[in-house]
Amino acid sequence: MSSYKFVNYSWDDAKAASLDPVGRLIYRSNILGADQRITNTGGGNTSSKLTEKDPLTGQPTEVLWVKGSGGDLRTSTRENFSSLYQQKLIDFQKLYGARSDKGLKAKAEDDMVGMYTHATFNLNPRASSIDTPLHSFVPGKHVDHMHPNAIISIAASENCEKLTKEIFGGDMAYVPWMRPGFELGLAMQKISQDNPKVQAIMMGQHGFISWDNDEKACYTLTLDLIEKASAYIDAKYQAKGGDATAFGGAKYQTLAPEGRNAIFSAILPWLRGQVSQQKRFIGTVQDDEKILRFVNSKDAARLAELGTSCPDHFLRTKIKPLYVDWNPQTEDLASLKKKLAAGLEQYRKDYAAYYTKSKHANSPAMRDPNPTVVLIPGVGMVAWGKDKSESRVTAEFYNCAVEVMRGAEAIDKYIALPQQEAFDIEYWLLEEAKLQRMPAEKELARQVVIVIGAGSGIGKETAHRIVKEGAHIVCVDLNEGAAQATAKEIEAKYGVGIGVAGTGLSNCGPAIGLAANITDRASIRAMLDKVALAYGGFDSICVTAGIFVPSDTSGHIPDDKWALTFNINVTGSYFVADEAFKTWKEQGLKGNLVLTTSANAAVAKKGSLAYDTSKAAANHLVRELAIELSPLVRVNGVAPATVVQGSAMFPRDRVIGSLAKYNIPYKDDEATDSLVTKLAQFYADRTLTKSPITPADQAEAYFLLISKRLSKTTGQVITVDGGLHEAFLR
């Protein structure tokens, strides 16, 4: 086609020409995956049959390069592609044909997946996709298997075969639903042999596959077919009234953004606790126009109950979402919570019944029966996953499911995959084996940790330390820019994940930066509500924020600075604990609170009266809160001392003042780093370990206290001071 309305044409001849053959496959994959209307995150695969030099014989041989198991086309690199001897894959047909137990879903078919490793070219470690036969057995040198919403709308229509002929004529063949694998590859091979001119096949309730001997032509053909399907659907959709009549028209009205945020922030921590009965989940909120059009509609309940169609969808969204028939115009939050509770109970019963009815003798044990997608009229959608990336993928896939239902209902009648077929994909032994092969989750996986004071010093170091263990980090600081800078450092190092869904704050990765004034309850509450919108709730809070006001020459500070010292070092921590506990109680999940005290709390000395007494109060606050918040929340403290290097509490003027106080020689024009090193070494020499104390040393203590390593420890203060005997407990 000369121009495209429904997909993006991104092929660049100059770019393609600069790449080697495998590089062009990766390039094609990336530009296909970059357009959500072409395929979803992690969905679909591409391949090229290329001539390579056999490392064993030195002779040219045909090699199938195909996107391997897992991975995402948009972000794929060479490492995401497996390489296999094409002739060996073809020869497997004889091996398979000789099996007496061959057939769709038969053991012989599953056994063939294990054979792919025997066809590996050049010791490529990437595991092969279950879709490998689809690419190997069709004749094209270059193959695209995509999951476009428009194509799946046709595939998920009651009259799919008829519509395929009507829309594409003889340009696209049709194969009814078959589970991906060897049998589907053989079926496609026969279709292409019987119809040599065909270069594409509609896969019932799945997607489509297309091919060509020229890679650019293959890319263009893929786009042309999606464009044609999209144009057909759009014409039918507009003829039926378009958005105004979509899904039977509106039943409920959308709440204003402020109202939606208020509902979400109030209900999400409780909902997170409800769905996290077995393992904790991270949430993603979607409340854009398209999802609201669906959840508000007359047909939403009917269509949601049918469940999803494409296997890629329901592997993430489960067999169906939880739709709550709540009237946002006439019912309140208490009513929503009551209906959600009843809906969750029924959902679990339905899922257990689905499992019991569909299971086989060798099926894996039933997995978590809670929904991963919750739909609320007037408000939007909440998706859950083991981490932010997975929850965004889940949300993305249900967005796709909604578009599929919209398209199918516009041209025909939407039908879901039969429950037995869905179960046989969800609980496929090969799928279970893939899950079992996944690496163990990190120690703080599935958790959200708020670090207050993360803009600098100990807080910044703590945020970087904790994220290494798999936690999602909310960086909070009075200086919002500093908090966001720390969050950006984390994202730059660990990435934002592969999901592309989520609206507002929920469109985030493993870290966000927020502002809060811990001496202001309203500011704390606003921050905690934003955390709920971003991640669904939180698990632990580390308060590293603090203040030290240097005294004048007489050893005193102004009265207002005395009050400020106590407000930040004591009252602020209490406000955080008191507001957070409201959320912790709603959520019902075990949590951790770690406050920052100081070795100064146990040592009386001149020059820091306000600071030292405030930290002594903070020490006791730890003990009091441990009692008040038990048994749901463990409360502990970290008592640093002499942290000079990297600390925001030691600006140049305080360092110089301390050097002068201790008669340590220095020059007025001496570099700040040099001054800091001198003071740090002086403090280190006073300790038993004779080592300078760094923010990283403190961060290790915060990590230990929010982990399960010290799960029976509460009401305690861990000193990280290098061994100041003056501060020993007495």
Q: Which residue, 437, 421, 432, is CA-closest to 105? A: 421
Judge residue 478's burial from the number of C-beta atoms within 10 Å of its C-beta, 0-12 exposed, 13-18 middle, 19 or more buried. Answer: middle
Strands 322-323 and 373-376: parallel
∠ CA 572-282-392, rounded to 5°: 125
Contacts of 532 (CB under 8 A, 6+ apart): 264, 265, 268, 269, 538, 583
Residues contacting 725, CB < 8 A, separation 6+: 688
Contact between 462 and 694 (Cβ < 8 Å):
no
Q: What is the 8-class DSSP label of residue 157?
A: B
Tokens of 41: 């995150």
Beta strand spans in 24-154 (E): 45-53, 60-67, 81-85, 142-146
> Cα 668 from chain centroid?
51
* Catalytically active residues, by annotation: 611
Contact assessment for residue 24 and residue 32, using Cβ atoms and an 8 Å cutoff: no
Omega before 311 within 30 of 0, i.e. cis: no
CB contact at 8 A, 417 and 257: no
What is the bridge-based pairing of β-strands 511-515 and 472-477? Answer: parallel
399 membership: H or E segment, kind and range: helix 388-411
CA dist 523 → 83, 453, 463, 538, 572 (Å): 55, 14, 21, 17, 11
Please tell me what DSSP assigns to residue 375.
Answer: E
Amino acid identity for residue 670 in this structure: E
* C-alpha to C-alpha distances, 624 to 576, 599, 612, nearest whole angstrom: 14, 19, 19
